Amino acid sequence: MDFQLKSLRLAEAAAMSVPALAVLVADGFEPGNDALSALIGRALGSGDFKTDAGALLSSYGAQGVAVDRVVLLGIGDGAAHRVRKAVAAGVAALKGSPTQSLTLCFAQPVDAAAVCAATLAAGDAAYVYRTTKGKRDNPKNGAPRLTEVQIGVPNTALAREAFQRAVGMAAGVELAREWANRPGNHATPTQLGQAAQALAKLPAVRCEVLGPRDIAKLGMGAFQAVAQGSRQEARFIVLRYDGAAKSDAPVVLVGKGITFDTGGISLKPAPEMDEMKFDMSGAASVLGVFRALGELKPALNVVGLIPACENMPDGGAVKPGDVVTSMSGQTIEILNTDAEGRLVLCDALTYAERFKPRAVIDIATLTGACVIALGGVRSGLFATDDTLAQALVAAGEQALDPCWRLPLDEDYAEALKTNFADVANVGGRPGGAITAAKFLQRFASAFPWAHLDIAGTAWKGGSAKGATGRPVGLLLQYLLDQAGPAPGRAPKGGKAAAKSGQGKRKRA
């Protein structure tokens, strides 16, 4: 998607000849003397259009307006979530029309958050999955596709930075959605590794992909146990983004990369099993974050770790009751082979120790129990560190990608006790999202740690079935909040820096 920010007033928009124009109108609109103002004024006066968020009026060939296709969108008080809703409706209204370029014009001055929301929402609404669709849907064969979005605001100076951040984020969200959507046979561990390697073309991004032998050498017995039932070779992906000094401790992101989860010998039922192609959404979100980091170049260091494999049942597959030794040395009784996410993650968490991280955040479609607890609105958040938890909650609110903290009381760990190993990999149905987190916590004692259970938020079922790209927005917002001043723009000490506090790194 090609995004542009433009200084644009309604009078100019009315005279512009573009393929399609969407005008965002907030409460308290005061019409000027131009043709668009006249159109909005008439529509408001007749009651055919309201400034309520989500209200929409399509018109064609309005008098005095150069562009034929005009959509009026209400954004209420202009809050970011209302702008998002309006833009989504506006782009949806244009879907199916041959329009390849859309201009979104704010009728009134807006804040940075609104510009950011509009940009992200336009990218989100315009995304269409095509990778495994037939020729008819290929844009090369004439299938229409929105490829250009211009955002028009009365004053670009205020919006420029937010806009650029949003463009980077949108690219990350799109990459995450794309990989999560690909079916298991088009997103194998090997292919995920190649996707990660492709990101190493970006500035300051490096990638290393380990194979089965390296994984065995590292002693990742839990990860290996999951991978051993599949003909697809496992991959352990290590991404690095170096935007700050070497001495700066990195944030480590760990993404669950189960490219297909059959449940293994504890086989899942057939209905809806196809949805388990989304079980690498955590990994996809890490790829998306790195895509955006390469574009936005914040001043911080980030490591991305992705244990990638399939969870399959075959003659060599791990069996219920098998005991394996994790990289940490802890032994694990695998009572249910369908609780595989925590097995691949625990070894990645141990691997993370070598980076002496300032924080480790794992992202996983981990439990059906989390879907029952929080549905598709908020991701589940667990954390051993209050400052880290607060920073993630705040980032989620800011990015309209919210999460909700759940408890980690020690009493929940009782369920994981077993007579045959240090820990069992399941603890029964009650509090299933929490016992899964308690399992992971045993491998995360060396650093401040947070766990995001995105089983309910990373993808949608029903007719709009597909990946959402969450929680790329939350993670990026958190990382950008952690970053020091950008190298080029860094205030070098002195009055301004001392006054604004920007000279110092804000840490959480």
Within 327-356, which residues bind Mn ion (CB under 5 A)? 338, 340
Write the single-letter amino acid at 261: D
**Pick 18 or 452: Cβ nearer Mn ion:** 452
Of the candidates 231, 225, 219, 226, the one whose C-alpha atom is nearest the C-alpha of residue 190 is 231
Smallest CA-to-CA distance from 321 within 426, 415, 224 is with 426
Output the smallest distance, CB 435 to Zn ion, in A: 15
Instruction: Decide: is 261 part of the binding site for Zn ion (CB under 5 A).
Output: yes
> Out of 50, 268, 297, 405, which one is annotated catalytic?
268
Judged by CB under 5 A, the number of residues near Mn ion is 3
Are the beta carbons of 99 and 20 closer than 8 angstroms? yes
Written as six digits, the tokens of 479 are: 């990382």
Q: Which of 104, 34, 94 is nearest to 60 (CA)?
A: 94
Known active-site residue 268:
yes
Give the number of other CB atoms < 10 A from CB of residue 270: 7
Closest CA to 423 of 409, 406, 435, 407: 435
* Residue 152 contact among ligand BES, Mn ion, Zn ion, none, beta carbon within 5 to 8 Å by kind: none
Least separation in angstroms between residue 4's CB and ligand BES is 37
- Residue 342 among the catalytic residues: yes
Give 188 or 262: the residue with its C-beta nearer to Mn ion.
262
Phi, psi of 57 (to 5 degrees): -135, 120
Cα–Cα dist 155/353, whole Å: 47
Contact between 279 and Zn ion per CB under 5 A: yes
Q: Are 111 and 123 in contact (CB under 8 A)?
A: no
Residue tagged active-site, from 177, 256, 277, 342 = 342
**For residues 168 and 341, which CB has a smaller minimum distance to ligand BES in the complex?**
341
Residues found near ligand BES in the complex (CB under 6 A): 261, 279, 336, 338-341, 365-369, 371, 426, 432, 455
Cβ(73)–Cβ(23) below 8 Å: yes
Nearer residue to ligand BES within complex by CB, 174 or 310? 310
C-alpha separations of 427 from 153, 291, 319, 332, 414 in Å? 54, 37, 17, 13, 8
Query: From the CB of 237, what's the least distance to Mn ion, in Å?
Result: 20
For the record, the structure tokens of 244 come out as 């700050």
Window of 126-134, 236-244, 261-269, 442-450 that interacts with Mn ion by CB under 5 A: 261-269
CB 440 within 8 A of CB 426: no
Listed residue (73, 55, 9) closest to 35, CA to CA: 9
Phi/psi for 379 (5° steps) reads -75, 150
Q: Which CB atom, from 229 or from 448, has the smaller least distance to Zn ion?
A: 229
Residue from the set 263, 341, 431, 456 that interacts with Zn ion by CB under 5 A = 341
The residue (of 218 and 371) whose beta carbon lies closer to ligand BES is 371
- Residue range at the interface with Zn ion (CB under 5 A); choices 159-167, 171-179, 275-283, 498-506: 275-283
By CB under 5 A, tell whether 261 contacts Mn ion: yes
* Contact partner, 180, from Mn ion, ligand BES, Zn ion, none, Cβ < 5-8 Å per class: none
| Among Mn ion, Zn ion, ligand BES, none, residue 426 binds (CB under 5-8 Å by kind) | ligand BES
Residue ranges in contact with Mn ion by CB under 5 A: 261, 338, 340
Residue ranges in contact with Zn ion by CB under 5 A: 258, 261, 279, 341
Residues recognised as catalytic:
268, 342
